[in-house]
Amino acid sequence: MSNSTGSSNGYLMGIDFGTESVRAAIFDTKGTPITFAATPYKTTHRRPGWAEQDPDEWLSCLEASSHKAIDNAGISPSSIIGISYDATTSTVLALDENGAPLRPAIMWMDVRATKEAAKISSTDSVAKLYNGDGTAPASAEWFPFKAAWIKENEPDVYERAYRIVDATDWATRILTGDWTLSINTAAQRMYYNRDQGGWPVDLYEHLGIGDIFDKLPDKVVDLGESVGTLSSRAATVLGLVPGIPVAQGSADAWAGQIGLGVVVPGKLALITGSSHVITGQSADPIHGAGFFGSYTDGVVRGQYTVEGGQVSTGSVMKWFKDNFARDLVQAADRAGLNAYDLLNQQSKHLAPGADGLIINEYLQGNRTPYVDGKARGNIYGLSLHHGPEHMYRAIQESICYGTAHNLRVMQAQGFQPKEIVACGGATRGRDFMQMHSDVTGVPITLTEVGDAVVLGSCMMAAVGAGVYSSLEDAANNMVHVRESLEPRQDVHEEYQFYLDKYIELFPKVADSIHEIVDHEAAK
């Protein structure tokens, strides 16, 4: 039913259940943003390592955001022709038969399930990921381990739960009244793999939750496919009309990947902010130590998704600005300028390598390629010659080195992206993005809509509403290039020496760093 033109009269609504707020965004079918509205909610931390939210608060905030978006857009509710959504991944809910929560949602960042995750070691036969080769350590953030924690520590909740699902699947129930399971979360955080027959039952039985399948929706739905229509109850909450097509949504990071148009092999999405998410598509399954995946059908059916990431990127730049550039921040505030712009001006004259200063940006651990929560930042080559501008430049370079390191690990297994498409806070610094391209040697594309997450949800809505035939079709019509940055070959070659040293240095001190972390933790 696609017209492949996006010429349908009407608008699309994308709903983003983020960590701090729920946003409602309205786009037209050509990918033009009309309006955004956000309403914040609270996260509680009852114990160290815990993070919980109230799903009922999500719903009330969704009501506020949707009404604000419709009012701000100045459009009739009947002009919304499609809806989809995204949410934080591995945010786990226990729900009764009516979809009501039996306990607070266990958030994606919650790591209470460390004991459960430890049951699955890289040497156990049951740890052979159905989306990998068993080399990736299990994460306490992921769905099976949180479900196992509930059964072990709150058996009454587990027993009463009609459904234990991810936040995206809760959203499906809220919007349509039906139960489905998103292929995105199933493939990428629940070890589901169609190529291997579906669920790894042995892994779940090893965790003591072989009965979890009775609590999961039977239907696993691809992204952008219809999951039903907006129910009368949900229409009242959102201020819309019943019967609007609702499309299967995804986790927020992969909605961002879709919103960048990374829905075909050969492209890589770089989603920047306080951290970097690195994710892309492959035509064939690839696996190896140092990255997650590949995940079968996780974004596009018939393709495989690879994933890496850096825990601390923008957060390290902010750490330096807040703690070591306070005088500059005050001067910027007085002049009405951006402190980062001043930092960039002061360090721009430095040649690649920051006069021999190399930093590891692992201030909060390493997500990939080491998957090392006890990794910490390191400074190499520091001398009396170096000043604040060198430190800032070396931090920026370290972030680019970390991205390039992840890329090298993927390339070693056959993943060869021809293009990186970037979004997020780092893209506001053109020179910083040029540095990413120079270090990696890969062209970087910047798109017109920086908020790729909600655009991605609207693209899924467009497919579900029949405006476009596929996510690739939607990307061709709704994602528009703003600028392309080509790597400067001479600068790229100059950076390779420093990149090699960056990669070589941390393993040489890792054991000592771990001992220090353990010593401090024991105090």
> pLDDT tens across 383-411, in order?
999 999 999 999 999 999 999 999 999 99
| Mean pLDDT (whole number) for 432-438 | 98
Q: Which residue has the tokens 């009368």?
A: 232
How much is the pLDDT for 260? 97
Average pLDDT over residues 229-245: 98
Q: What is the 3-state secondary structure (H, E, C) of 430-479?
A: HHHHHHHHHHHCCCEEEECCCCHHHHHHHHHHHHHCCCCCCHHHHHHHHC
User: Quick check: 1 pLDDT over 50?
Assistant: no
Bridge partners of residue 296, in order along the sequence: 304
More confident site: 293 or 249: 249
Distance of alpha carbon 446 from alpha carbon 457, whole angstroms: 19
Q: Terminal CA-to-CA distance of the chain, rounded, Å?
A: 64
Specify the pLDDT at position 521.
84
Q: In the prediction, which pLDDT does 3 show? A: 39
pLDDT, position 2: 37
Q: What is the pLDDT of residue 261?
A: 98
Which region, left, alpha or beta, applies to residue 512 given φ > 0 means left and ψ of -120 to 50 means alpha? Answer: alpha
* Contact predicate 81/244, CB 8 Å: yes
Q: Give the residue-averaged pLDDT of 325-329.
A: 92
Give the torsion sign (CA, 341, 431, 279, 264): positive
User: What burial letters (b/e) apply to 455-494, b meaning 16+ CB within 10 Å?
Assistant: bbbbbbbbbbbbbbeebebbbebbbeeeeebebeeebbee
pLDDT band at 139 (very low <50, low <70, confident <90, very high): confident
Residue 127: pLDDT over 90: no
Rounded Cα distance, 162 and 99, in Å? 8
Instruction: Compute the average pLDDT of residues 289-297.
Output: 89
C-alpha 249: how far from chain center: 14
- Of 124, 118, 104, nearest to 51 by C-alpha is 104
Lowest mean pLDDT among 137-146, 249-258, 292-301: 137-146
pLDDT (mean) for 463-489: 97
How do beta strands 21-28 and 92-95 pair?
unpaired
pLDDT confidence of residue 5: 41
Nearest Cα to Cα of residue 414 among 297, 269, 282, 264: 282
Q: Which two tokens stand for residue 241?
A: 């009309």
Q: Cβ(414)–Cβ(407) under 8 Å? A: no
78-126: pLDDT as tens digits = 999 999 999 999 999 999 999 999 999 999 888 889 889 888 765 454 5
Checking if the pLDDT of 200 tops 60, the result is yes
| Per-residue confidence band for 128, with pLDDT thresholds at 50, 70 and 90 | low
User: Which value, to the nearest 10 degrees, does the dihedral of the CA atoms of residues 195, 196, 198, 201 take?
Assistant: -170
**% of the chain exceeding 90 in pLDDT:** 81
Question: Residue 29: what residue type?
Answer: T
Q: What is the pLDDT of residue 6?
A: 43
Please answer whether residues 437 and 326 qualify as being in contact, where contact means their C-beta atoms are separated by less than 8 angstroms: no
Pairs from 353-356 (Cβ < 8 Å, separation ≥ 24): 353/397, 353/494, 353/495, 353/497, 353/498, 354/386, 354/390, 354/393, 354/394, 354/397, 355/385, 355/386, 355/390, 356/381, 356/383
Write the CA distances from 218 to 83, 171, 464, integer angstroms. Answer: 22, 16, 20
Q: Which of 41-55, 242-256, 452-466, 478-492 has the lowest mean pLDDT?
A: 41-55
Q: In 3D, which of 461, 452, 45 has the Cα closest to residue 226? A: 461
Helix (H) / strand (E) element for 92: namely strand 92-95
Position 445 pLDDT exceeds 50: yes
Return d(Cα 393, Cα 380) in angstroms, integer: 14
Helix or strand or coil: residue 513? Answer: helix
Looking at residue 129, its pLDDT comes to 52
Provide the pLDDT for residue 132: 56
Residue-wise pLDDT tens digits, 345-387: 999 999 999 999 999 999 988 988 988 888 999 999 999 999 9
Domains of the chain: 11-248 (3.30.420.40), 314-446+485-518 (3.30.420.40)
pLDDT at 228 over 60: yes
What lies within 8 Å, CB to CB, of 466 at 6+ separation is 1, 2, 245
Q: How far apart are CA 44 and CA 52, in angstroms?
A: 5
Burial letters 93-130, b for 16+ CB under 10 A, else e: bbbeeebebbbbbbbbebbbbeebbebbeeeeebbbbb
Mean pLDDT of 216-241: 97
pLDDT at 7: 44
276 and 401 Cβ atoms separated by less than 8 Å: no
Q: How confident is the model at residue 292 (pLDDT cuts 50, 70, 90)?
A: confident
The answer, yes or no, to whether residue 303 has pLDDT greater than 90, is yes
Taking alpha carbons only, the member of 464, 471, 468 closest to residue 176 is: 464
Amino acid identity of residue 282, one-letter, is S
Q: Which ranges in 373-451 belong to alpha helices (H)?
A: 388-412, 430-440
d(C-alpha 50, C-alpha 114), whole Å: 11
E strand or H helix at 420, and its extent? strand 419-424
Residue 451 Cα distances to 32, 260, 307, 403, angstroms: 11, 9, 20, 21
Q: What is the largest CA-CA distance in the chain?
A: 69
Residue 204 clears pLDDT 90, i.e. is over it:
yes
Q: Give the CA angle between residues 35, 41, 43 to the nearest 5°.
A: 140
pLDDT band, residue 274 (cuts 50/70/90): confident
Closest C-alpha among 219, 234, 209, 141 to residue 183: 219
Q: Which residues contact 156 (CB under 8 A, 6 or more apart)?
A: none
Residue 76 is predicted with a pLDDT of: 96
pLDDT at 4 > cutoff 80: no
Q: Give the amino acid at 411.
A: Q
